[in-house]
Chain A
Amino acid sequence: MKPFEYAKATAHADATAQAANNATFIAGGTNLLDLMKLEVMAPGKLVDINRLDLSEISQTDDGGLRIGALVTNSDCAADKRIRDDYPVLSRAILAGASGQLRNKATTGGNLCQRTRCYYFYDTAMPCNKREPGSGCQAMEGFNRIHAILGASDACIATYPGDMAVAMTALHAQVEIEDKSGDIRHVPVREFHLLPGDHPEKDNILEPGDLITAVILPPPVEGKQIYQKVRDRASYAFALCSVAAIVKMDGDTIASVALAFGGLAHKPWCDEAVEELLVGQQPSAELFGKAADLLLAEAQGYGSNDFKVPLTRRVLISVLKKATQTGAAS
């Protein structure tokens, strides 16, 4: 661990000002501290934001929920309003990490968790994300957990989280306060970036930006499903996960929101796939077409080739369950 300065932020402005001046926020630290021990990340200064007043889940004027950035994953998943109205979010959170980690990990921090690419974690390996321009060892190496969608020649890492996948399906917004005190809202769908030529940049945050909350829109009707596929029953990152919110109108699909984890540098969503499904009657053929469309550009890199057929199977299965008429789950 490289020696670093440590400061406690007492107010938002204090926090954003320090961050603008090359400091890194620490909340739960469940990912950051590991990365600092390995010197994958070596910030010169940490600003502890745990004392900021961002730990509430409150109702918004339009009937949605505002989840403070410091609400822990455990508290978020256990919140009755979230369990009742946004079960896909509770399920996604509970599918990740362990009880101990969820007790520490925060909503804002979880959005910012970094990839689990083996080569990113090993400072002896070239990695464009860790050290821009040094190369990508994963591309021709062991890449079982890597991306099949939206990757670039520079990076095939995946965003590893579950929570943001559900938030993507829910059309949640990230509330961000910048160093001038201005607040902006960015859809979770646009928060994470594809690697392109700049894989070192995981998301749209600029120096000084502080995530203050995630805003959930008013509850939507329909069946909510989160299915996570992984190598062991718990405490493993998704090889593929699907968040689905599907509303039926009689025997046609009235609305659908889909998001995928473990496939790309960001929670993956494809509006063309959603559009294809809306207004249609569920059928194996339709679901097959949806999977074809989703995976039309998919590319494996060797050890992750299986993710293409796996995702196809999981999507079809989730759509079948989501469109089955009967009690909403």
Chain B
Amino acid sequence: MNAHRKMDKPDTRNRLDDMSQGLVGTAMDRPDGPLKVSGQATYAHEWEVPDMVHGVLVRATISKGRVTDVASDEILADDAIHAVITDDRLLRRPAQGGANEAPPQGSKQVDYFGQPIALVVADTFEQARHAANNLKIGYETEGNAAFDPEAAATETDKPEDDQLDQGDLDQAMRNAAFTVDQVYRTPGHNSAAMEPHCAIASWEGDKLTLRGSYQMLNFNINELADALHISADNIRMLSPFVGGGFGSKLGLSPEAVAAAIAAKEIGLPVCVTLSRQQVFETTMRRSETHQHVRLSCGEDGVLTGLGHECLVSNLPGEEFYEPVTQATHFLYGGKNRKLGIEVARLNRTCGGSVRAPGEAVGMQVLENAMDELAEAAGIDPVELRKRNIPEQHPEKDIPYSSRRFTEALDEGAKRFGWDKRNAKPGNLREGDWLIGHGMAGAARINILSEAKAKVTLLANGSAVVETDMTDIGTGTYAILTQIACDMLGLPADKVETKLGDTDFPAGPGSGGSWGASSSGSAVFLACEEIRRKLADKLGSDERDLELADGKAGTGEPAQSLAVILDGEEISAIGHIEPGKTLEDWQQATYGSYFAEVAVNAITGETRVKRMLGVFGAGRILNEKTATSQCYGGMIWGIGSALTEELAFDNRDGHIVNHDLAEYHIPVNLDVPQIEVVLLKERDEFASPIQAKGIGELGICGAAAAVTNAIYNATGIRVRDYPATLDKLLEGLPDQQQ
């Protein structure tokens, strides 16, 4: 039985609020938590598949050209080596999120340094790694590679549908009382999820089972089928536990196809795991950005013009580009607008989605520029933002769905003690440390994706939720369990949620913050259908049905579900699709960040002393997992602000700091106690459960709060991220006093 809903109109019923158990929204522990902390959650590399052998990918050590020779014979002389795979179906780069088809294939053409060009398979991982390290490759290099996005010779193009020229920004800038006209740069990032990418392929006849670490199985299965030239019906993918994704596991990546080809060829299951260095070199990077921001306002601080023109990069032919201006389009007003993206075509590791593509870097810079405008206009930064929250979408004639931006700004300012901030930069010193305070707004588009989930109420009165949706550490197991529990009146231990198996109905995958609201809505719809069946059995109207503690009744829950079911089970598949509410209303999530930093007046080292985030993201499904998502986003914001940077060698485009020793993510000591406040909100336009995405909101501007605080502490504007100490040294106070 199917319960289908296309989100063409708002759902104002707020049904989850009427359920008597009230588990949704609480900080329920993850049902998968005990497994994870006791090492019993099976991650991709941990499956014990009989007779399994190991493959290691070989990297290209040129930046552009062709592989002319692979000296396989030399290493195949060793009995431990099973095969050297140089198949035309090998992936040259990962698929983009949602591609649903194979990315560019073939092991001969090299597009970037570090590209996989072969797979060496051996009895053990160590043998395969050694052989892969020593496999001699002949190349024919092409000399016209491009590595520097800003070099004059680098080819660029402009995606047509992401250019806006509205009114006359130049004139607005000329006539303004106050303006900001600055260029900012953000560096590339890698997701660097704790679990490296891994796939184990095993074949039984024509049937392939692939155990891997992926975010969007519903799409990954088609990408794999397309790459292997087989039918998706012959593939089963399993990703019950994923140790972090952040976008890097959205699309199928090279290890999966390599493992599948090798396993077929040698007739044994093959496990291919990326090393940390390979994760950096061959999975998606967030593009570096060059952002030219222009803001103009009157004496009242109200924007008259807004320009946000960006240069990003990707490999030639890739359609994806970092959508830097995504939130700029709707967050603030300003009649005269010029927004655009230009893509430099480089021979660097493929650019793709990394947590909050667009807003993570776009908001970071826009919120720096707003801070600069606030200072120029002599208006408090919180107040300036509030004055520029538009009534209607500034570019399209559509209203906003639920938007708690003002509340987030006010609540944050109040809790942080913003009124006590010293507005004059460089004025507060404690010993060697200069103290500063900064804030920024947060915004991220909201997305609802098509999703299906099957819920079965078993004859014994317990329930099972099944979908190929993944839990990448975000809490999917918890929130789907909570929704099913409340809708069916069951305690948490009577609902089992099963995820990450393509034999289950197709979920939306984890990405773009859409996972919880989309798969949650599918579970909700399935449960509604089951409630209708139960009501039929009781001869009552579903709306009058009360379910709690495993019992059901009209008015009050009286009879146990097992008795009502009388040996039967009830199944339903919930199916949600996005509809008109996504086009006719601007849907987004909002928030605010406040940070206190200390900058060492001698060395320029910055330490964040405290940080607050206040967020509105529709209905919160689990307070604990939602808060954790915000912590994670804000911590990445600290890293973005202070340390994190993919360093490229512009002579060959290779990533210089391709490990966690030199790619500096924040460590515990870099992260102060972070406070997260989730505002109460229901967005009836967003989904039948009034929830929006929260997985990415925590990073969308967080870094700007830190760098704005650095300015407040020191009077130094760092416009070239990250704000490492070398960029502050020159502006620090003179020592000779």
Partners in one complex: yes
Complex Cα distance, B61 from A1, in Å, reads: 19
* A118 to B129 Cα, complex, angstroms: 20
The CA of A288 and the CA of B432, in the complex, are separated in Å by: 18
Which residues of chain A from 181 to 228 have any CB-CB distance to chain B below 8 Å in the complex?
none
Known contacts: A116-B661, A141-B651, A234-B669. The answer to whether A306 contacts B729 by CB under 8 A is yes
The closest CB in chain A to the CB of B638 belongs to A232
The reply on A45 being an interface residue by CB < 8 A is no
| In the complex, chain B residues 684-737 whose Cβ is within 8 Å of any chain A Cβ | 724-726, 729-730, 732, 735-737
B152 beta carbon closer than 8 Å to chain A = no
* Bound CA–CA A130/B145 (angstroms): 28
Give Cα A316–Cα B733 distance, bound, in whole angstroms.
14
- Residue in contact with B133 in the complex, picked from A39, A116, A141, A314, CB distance below 8 Å: A39
Are B666 and A232 in touch, CB under 8 angstroms? yes
Could you tell me if B129 and A284 are in contact, using CB atoms closer than 8 angstroms?
A: no
Q: Are B726 and A306 in contact (CB under 8 A)?
A: yes
A310 touches B729 (CB 8 A): yes
Cβ contacts under 8 Å, A145 to chain B:
662
Residues in B with CB closer than 8 Å to A118 are: 647, 656-657, 662
Q: Among B432, B651, B667, which residue has its beta carbon within 8 angstroms of that of A317? A: B432
Instruction: Decide: B607 and A233 in contact? CB cutoff 8 A.
Output: yes
Within 8 A of B (CB), among A236-268: 236-237, 239
- Which secondary structure characterizes the binding site on chain A? loop
Contact between chains at B670 and A314 (CB < 8 Å): no
A133 within 8 A of B: no
CB of B415 closer than 8 Å to a CB of A: no
| Residues of B close to A233: CB separation below 8 A | 605, 607, 667, 669-670
**In the complex, which residues of chain B have a beta carbon less than 8 angstroms from the beta carbon of A309?**
729-730
CB nearest to B737 among chain A residues: A284
A123 at the interface (CB under 8 A from B): yes
Bound CA span A229–B732, Å: 15
Nearest B residue to A236, CB-CB? B664
Whether the pair A232, B670 counts as a contact (CB closer than 8 A) is yes
> Is there an interface contact between B656 and A313, defined as CB atoms closer than 8 Å?
no
Distance (whole angstroms) from the CB of B526 to the closest CB of chain A: 46
**A171 adjacent to chain B (CB < 8 Å):** no
**A288 B736 Cβ-Cβ under 8 A:** yes
With A1-B126, A288-B736 known to touch, is A232 a contact of B602 (CB < 8 Å)? Answer: no
- Within 8 Å CB of B605, what residues of A? 229-230, 233
> Least Cβ distance of A21 to chain B in Å?
23
The residue in chain B whose Cβ has the minimal distance to the Cβ of A3 is B130
What residues on B are CB-neighbors of A1 within 8 Å?
126, 129-130
Inter-subunit contact B130/A310 (CB<8 Å): no
Judged by a CB distance under 8 angstroms, whether B40 is at the interface is no
Q: A235 contacts B667, CB within 8 Å? A: yes
CB distance from A103 to the nearest CB of B (A): 17
* Smallest Cβ-Cβ distance to B113: which chain A residue: A124
> Which residues does chain A contribute within 8 Å of B656, judged by CB atoms?
118-119, 141-142
CB distance from B639 to the nearest CB of A (A): 9
Complex CA distance for A3 and B604, rounded to whole angstroms: 46
Contact between B662 and A116, CB atoms less than 8 A apart: yes
List which B597-655 residues lie within 8 A (CB) of chain A. 602-605, 607, 642-643, 647-649, 651, 654
Tell me if B59 counts as interface (CB < 8 A to partner A).
yes
Give Cα A116–Cα B664 distance, bound, in whole angstroms.
Answer: 14
Does any Cβ of A come within 8 Å of B38's Cβ? Answer: no
B668 at the interface (CB under 8 A from A): yes
Residues of B7-26 at the interface with A, using a CB-CB cut-off of 8 Å, are none
New A-B pairs, 7, CB < 8 Å, besides A310-B729, A313-B602, A313-B732: A37-B129, A39-B133, A141-B651, A142-B657, A232-B667, A306-B726, A306-B729
Top 5 A-B pairs, shortest CB-CB distance: A306-B726, A233-B669, A124-B61, A234-B669, A317-B602
18 A-B pairs in the complex with CB atoms less than 8 angstroms apart:
A1-B126, A1-B130, A37-B129, A39-B130, A39-B133, A39-B134, A118-B662, A122-B658, A123-B133, A124-B654, A231-B664, A231-B724, A232-B666, A233-B669, A233-B670, A234-B668, A313-B732, A317-B432
Chain B residues close to A by CB (< 8 Å): 59, 61, 126, 129-130, 133-134, 432, 602-605, 607, 642-643, 647-649, 651, 654, 656-659, 661-662, 664, 666-670, 724-726, 729-730, 732, 735-737
